[in-house]
Amino acid sequence: MVNNIVKTVVNNETPVVNLLESPRHSCTFGGAYTATNAVKGLVPILHTGPGCGWTNFFGLVAGSGGGFLGDLGAMQTPSSSLLEKHIVFGGEDKLRDLLNSTNELMNGELFVVIPGCIPTMIGDDIGMVVNEFRAKNNTPIIHVKTSGFNGNSYKGYELFLDAVIDQLLEEPVKVKKGLVNIIGIAPCQHIFWKGDLKELQRTLELIGLEVNPIFGDLKGIESLKKIPEAELNIVVNPWLGKEVADKLETKFGTPFIVQYGLPVGPRETEHFVQDVGKKLGIPREKIDQAIQKEIKEAYQFYNYISNGLYMGLANSYFGVAAESNIAIGLTRFLTNDCGMMPTVVIITDDPPLKNRESIKQRLTEDINSINKPDVIFEIDTYNIEKILQNYPNLIVLGSSMEKYFSADKLSALHLTVSFPAYDRMLLRRTYSGFFGGINLLEDLMGKMSRPF
């Protein structure tokens, strides 16, 4: 175990982590690769050394409670598998060959070239090769400006959307009334992405909207092409995807709203739906009516669990180590709706410094608890454990990396809610929406051990 993590602060601003134990993310390359796989019909074409694709695919897919992803993931993915001679002489010819053979062998709606560290370090002109291919072929093609080392997998998700916006989407577009995009939920890094996107889509459809989740549905390239037609972009994340939404606003004039954290349970979800409705000019009463049944039903389920909740877990101290949007969603629900007491919230997705204050606010303001949680931004697993040890938690919501530590060192009940999730299979599971809180309580209380 590494126990002397060295951290330095430059200009009191940018914390530079010199050493990181068990990071909870991969690189831009991995983020863009999984994002590509999460849109049906897209063909990821990796331009990198052998091994990058494999490790990233299984690192991110297995770490997010999934078994496989996309039609062309893992062994099916074309890769230039660059060798020493390509490093010395350049890898452009290899990429050219790879694009041509992929075109012969594979049917796809969109080729997505994703470069890793090697070609960008030696300066391959990937844009030129891609443009050449585009000029000669009918298959649409884009290239994502990843290079592995230029950021983490969250950035990779944003870079994928950047490439789509810059190289695929065209103006002018006719705005389609009632169409909205959901942004800010990165496939795989957000372990509940499949279920959450479905549930948010269903929730917003209740008020008559047409929802484009972009990732995870069956529409393929159409879901990308539809992006600029939206009347509104909804960023369901306090930071991730904001710049994408900004870019869409600049390029297509699409306004956006930011939902600061996943809406978990009837209270937050109602706020969320009303906020969206307000922005789109849908009358409040109409929305009330549309969601009335859902809310009633959700509370009915609370009745089933209420005795267990108040006898078993009333006023429990809990700590969270999760990505910003999951941490906010779960903390607010367990505190405001279930009467639990948050001790510490550790944010593990390394949000930009400029977004940290608003994340903190969402976790400490408008919180119905006698204690406010400490909010700490930390991505190092050893440090996360150290921090958790300082609090008397009965419950720890974290990644599966906190599982044994929580049991052995803290004697706390542990549930995996953030990346990586090696101890869960997550397909349609969701904690967002009107019934998301019920799902959370189900999972949480199912963890309690009983003598019989």
CA-to-CA distance for 263 and 386, rounded, in angstroms? 29
Q: Can you point out the beta strands (E) in 176-330?
A: 179-183, 210-212, 232-235, 256-258, 317-322
- Residues 362 and 238 sit within 8 Å (Cβ to Cβ): yes
The smaller minimum CB distance to other proteins, of residues 13 and 84, is found at 84
Q: Is 182 helix (H, G, I), strand (E, B) or coil?
A: strand
Residue closer to other proteins, measured from CB, 96 or 176: 96
The residue (of 92 and 337) whose beta carbon lies closer to other proteins is 92
The CA distances from residue 160 to 90, 127, 434, in Å, are 24, 15, 31
CB of 89 to other proteins, least distance (A): 4
93 versus 246: smaller Cβ distance to other proteins: 93
Q: Which is it for the CA torsion 118, 120, 124, 129, positive or negative? A: positive
| Residues 333/441, Cβ–Cβ less than 8 Å | no
The minimum distance between CB 101 and other proteins, in angstroms, equals: 17
> Minimum distance from CB of 132 to other proteins (Å)?
15
In the bound state with other proteins, the residue whose beta carbon lies nearer, of 86 and 242, is 86
- Shortest CB 91 distance to other proteins, Å: 8
Nearest approach, Cβ of residue 84 and other proteins (Å): 6
Structure tokens belonging to residue 314 = 């009333």
Largest CA distance in the chain: 70
Minimum Å gap between C-beta 202 and other proteins is 51
CA pair distance 92, 446, nearest whole angstrom:
54
Residue type, 233: N
Who contacts 413 (Cβ-Cβ below 8 Å, separation ≥6)?
394, 395, 396, 406, 444, 447, 448
Question: Dihedral through CA 148, CA 149, CA 152, CA 156, nearest 10?
Answer: -40
Closer CB to other proteins, residue 126 or residue 328? 126
Query: Judged by CB, which is closer to other proteins: 89, or 404?
Result: 89
123 in Cβ contact with 111 (< 8 Å): no
Min dist CB 95 to other proteins, Å, is: 12
The residues that touch other proteins, with contacts defined as CB under 8 A, are 84-92, 121-124
Please list the alpha-helical segments (H only) found in 253-283: 265-280
Q: Is 115 or 351 the residue whose CB approaches other proteins more closely? A: 115
The residue among 82 and 161 lying less far from other proteins, judged by its C-beta, is 82
Pull the structure tokens for residue 207.
Answer: 């008020």
CB of 81 to other proteins, least distance (A): 14
| Least distance (Å) between residue 124 CB and other proteins | 8
Kindly state the smallest distance separating residue 129's Cβ from other proteins, in Å: 12
CB of 81 or CB of 369, closer to other proteins: 81
Note if the bond before 15 is cis, omega within 30 degrees.
no
How distant is the alpha carbon of residue 98 from its chain centre? Answer: 30
Peptide bond into 420 cis (omega under 30): yes
Which of residues 86 and 143 has its CB atom nearest to other proteins in the complex?
86
Amino acid at 281: G
Exposure letters 413-445 (e unless 16+ CB within 10 A, then b): bbbbbbbbbeebebeebbbbbbbbbbbbbebbe
CB of 149 vs other proteins, minimal distance in Å: 15
Q: 71 phi and psi, to 5 degrees?
A: -85, -20
What is the rounded CA–CA span in Å between residue 174 and residue 45?
31
